[in-house]
Structure 1
Amino acid sequence: MLQRYSPRRRVGTALAAVLAVGFGATEAFADRALTPVPFKDGFESGATTAFPRKGIDGTGTVDVKAAPGGHGGKAVRFVMPDDGKSYRTEIATARVPYGSYRYTFANYLPNDWIRYDAQTIVSQWHGGAGTYPAVVLAVKGDRWMMIVHWKTGSDLVDESRHPAHEVKYDLGPVRLGHWNQWSFDITWSTATTTGSITARLDGTEVGSHRGPNSYHQDTAPYHKIGLYRPNWQAWKGHKAGGTPAVVNYYDDVTITAISPGAPVPPPATPSAKTTATSAPDRSGASASPSVQAPASAQAPASAPATGPAAPGSSLDAADAIPLDTGSDQDTDNDAGPLAETGASSHTPIILAFGSALLAAGLVLVFRSRAARRRAGGRRGD
């Protein structure tokens, strides 16, 4: 004999099904955040199609070539001519949800790299149009620099009245003709999570930051690599200089989800064929790179990650990084724009909330039908 389900049981079954869908969607996004290797590319395919975004301002080029310096295999090469028009040649990964990640990559500056006393950005983690990059890796003169920008709480208003906070870290001297093995362990800050950054070069910690390190937007920053010289923009008065084109190589780019405080990655083993030439150290520092204490800082205790943070060093007008407007004047763009908005990190919450609303609606529908049935039964009596 078949059992007839009561309206209450039907409501319960429907509610359970809807909530299962909502929580299932939430788990799907959570699993995405915990994927062991959400991104990995060594460019052995001969293309950069794994990077969904590309931005070229001017006549620069991005192509895959044989890796120089005895590295072996292939690497992506970024070329930016000093023609008075070119200032950006970059590609970018997709976004990732907020969390803790290990970003690793290798980059190579040729021996004929010409010293440039303003910033040449080779890697940046960006939140999108209308913001400064949250984290920057740049060459300034003969030094590696890490720059962190952030806004929290009431700072998230008009940029002209509340510019981003900035702090800079000297990561040590640049080595030319050398494959730099970089590792950045980053926990992206949120309203409830204290951010942190640990930078390592060739297996040695060279800088760290603890405190806010993003804009607490709906999406976590995405990773851009290549070449970007803000001061080469024409509106800043830069004209063709006649110097050789700027070249930077990248290889072995990965993003791995980690737990905060994950074990330190093993030092990279340099190739026996690589001939490394150290750039002259004109900083005046007496400590050698091998014994120099790593740069580190912590957001002031009076400015927790959940509220407005005290600013670090002020923006340097000489080589200030401009806001990303998302209006790259691409001449060779076969991918999405760099500042394209990614999926919201609030999507799981939105899905769960929408599922709850749908469940509540179903409950009301079933209750209304049950009430009508009861009313009809009383009229029949």
Structure 2
Amino acid sequence: MHFAKPPSHAGHPARLLTSCATALLVLGVAAASPAAAADSVSYDFESPSQKLPFMAINGAGRVLVGPAPGGRSGQAARVNIPNDGHSFKSELVIKGLDAGSHRFSFANYLPGDWQEQDFDTIVAQWFSTQDDTLRIKPVVALSIHSADWQLKIHWMSGGEIQEKIIPLGAARLGHWNQWTFDITWSSPTTPGSIAVARDGVNVGSHQGANNYHRGQPPHFRIGAYRPGWRPEKGPTQRGGASEAVLFIDDIAITSTAAGSAPNPLPTTTGGAASPSRPPVLSSSTSAASPSASPSTKASAAPTSGAPAATADAAPGAPRETRTENGSSLSSTGPTGVIGIAAASAAALACGAFLLFRRRTGPQGAHRR
């Protein structure tokens, strides 16, 4: 007497292969898709296909991408504001950030012919859009005033805007500065914090209120903004000043856990980073290693959101970013994830097929 022959599974391996491949490809595409909010994004200006932030420009200013100056390899964004009587701002705008904690890192460069002026040129600011006014001050602003870097922090108390100015040391012309800002936004009941590092050395910090606690969470703007050049303020601050030109590169924003602090960096006295002291960045930072040559681009950056592109752009013809239209940033994820998912799907499906064949192969004759 023989046992009944097991039912045929013909066609099951093919269906199994198709199901596994389809499921894993779907997972791969999902992994490659960016999050809705731009809480972890990066821009290195290397690839023409990389989506760039929107621009906020008043007047005839420009933001163009071209060869990086100062011995730095690859591409960078050149920002300029002409002294024409009505231009005063050329900035890239990154919206969609939440009100939690983030690390902001970027590099900027002041050319050797930069003119010192007795007014602020804001090169990075965190701005909280308000419903009741269009002229409210940024909650946090990094600027160069005369020959020095400084940080201004604003918050509301008793219905009035409060201001704190933190000196960050002397500016060096013809030098790429690597900035890192670790910011936790305050709430009406919880204090916030700001830690600032330049070239891997802590140069300033703040604990307490650091925004207005109303309206939208602060968004990030980087480029050049001269409040004193607004047309309504007249020509008093324009005399003798040529156009403002600077360069920015390797912007990276990483969402961090609220209350967590990155590894501490060395701190110098007087709020100035020592050029002769070799800077050291913690391993958790997304900025470029300061020990690298100035001609080396940053290699570590978040890949969620807008991906850091490879250096495949010709170093010639500058390209211009898109203009701001009030929409939040939308980016596509790296296609490499999809390729990895496809390869993984094929490998796992083949493994499943072989296991299936092993379990359902020839059974042989069974005796009584």
TM-score range, shorter chain: 0.5 to 0.7
CA distance in 1, matches of 2:128, 2:118: 26
Partner of 2:291: 269
Quickly say closer, same or farther: Cα 1:333–1:272, change in 2 above 3 A.
Answer: closer
Quote how far apart the aligned CAs of 1:219 are: 2.7
Per-residue CA distance 1:273-309 (angstroms, 9 max, x = gap)? 69xxxxxxxxxxxxxxxxxxxxxxxxxxxxxxxxxxx
Pair 1:189 & 2:186 matched: yes
Quote how far apart the aligned CAs of 1:80 are: 0.9
Q: Pick from 147, 151, 160: which aligns with 1:146?
A: 151
Quickly say closer, same or farther: Cα 1:242–1:126, change in 2 above 3 A.
Answer: same
Partner of 2:212: 215
- Which ranges of 4 or more aligned residues in structure 1 deviate by more than 4 Å? 31-35, 239-243, 340-343
Quote how far apart the aligned CAs of 1:93 are: 0.6
* Superposed counterparts of 1:9-24, under 5 Å: none
Contact 1:47 1:63 in 2 (8 A): no
Contact 2:63 2:321 in 1 (8 A): no
Quote how far apart the aligned CAs of 1:268 are: 1.4
CA distance in 1, matches of 2:70, 2:321: 29
| DSSP 3-state at the match of 2:228 | helix
Partner of 1:123: 124
Partner of 1:356: none
Pair 1:228 & 2:216 matched: no
CA distance in 2, matches of 1:243, 1:175: 19
Contact 1:90 1:226 in 2 (8 A): yes
Partner of 2:95: 94
Per-residue CA distance 1:313-346 (angstroms, 9 max, x = gap)? xxxxxxxxxxxxxxxxxxx994335xx4879xxx
| Worse-matched range after superposition: 240-249 or 70-79 | 240-249
Partner of 1:283: none
* Superposed counterparts of 1:1-381, under 5 Å: 38-46=40-48, 49-51=51-53, 53-129=54-130, 130=133, 131-151=136-156, 155=158, 162-238=159-235, 241=239, 243-259=241-257, 260-264=260-264, 265-266=281-282, 268-271=290-293, 334-337=322-325, 340=326
Per-residue CA distance 1:192-240 (angstroms, 9 max, x = gap)? 3320000000010000000000111253211101111111122211176
CA distance in 1, matches of 2:126, 2:254: 15
Per-residue CA distance 1:2-58 (angstroms, 9 max, x = gap)? xxxxxxxxxxxxxxxxxxxxxxxxxxxxx96999x711110112478421x321111
Percent identity between matched residues is 39
- Give the counterpart letter for 1:123 in structure 2: A
Quickly say closer, same or farther: Cα 1:252–1:242, change in 2 above 3 A.
Answer: same
Contact 2:93 2:324 in 1 (8 A): no
- Give the counterpart letter for 2:113 in structure 1: D
TM-score normalised to structure 2 length: 0.61
Quickly say closer, same or farther: Cα 1:334–1:43, change in 2 above 3 A.
Answer: closer
Contact 1:82 1:241 in 2 (8 A): no
CA distance in 2, matches of 1:333, 1:252: 15
Quote how far apart the aligned CAs of 1:257 are: 1.4
- Give the counterpart letter for 2:230 in structure 1: Q
CA distance in 2, matches of 1:223, 1:171: 20
Contact 1:48 1:64 in 2 (8 A): no
CA distance in 1, matches of 2:61, 2:50: 15
- Give the counterpart letter for 2:255 in structure 1: A
Partner of 1:9: none
Contact 1:189 1:214 in 2 (8 A): yes
Contact 1:33 1:99 in 2 (8 A): no
- Give the counterpart letter for 1:271 in structure 2: S
Question: What is the Cα-based RMSD across aligned positions, in Å?
Answer: 2.8
Contact 2:66 2:77 in 1 (8 A): yes
Contact 2:100 2:185 in 1 (8 A): yes
Quote how far apart the aligned CAs of 1:64 are: 0.2
| Worse-matched range after superposition: 164-173 or 237-246 | 237-246
CA distance in 2, matches of 1:272, 1:44: 16
CA distance in 2, matches of 1:106, 1:48: 18
CA distance in 1, matches of 2:206, 2:100: 16
| DSSP 3-state at the match of 1:196 | strand
Quickly say closer, same or farther: Cα 1:65–1:342, change in 2 above 3 A.
Answer: closer
The number of residues matched between the two structures is 244
CA distance in 2, matches of 1:66, 1:272: 14
The gaps in structure 2 that reach 5 residues or longer are 1-33, 265-280, 283-288, 297-319, 330-368
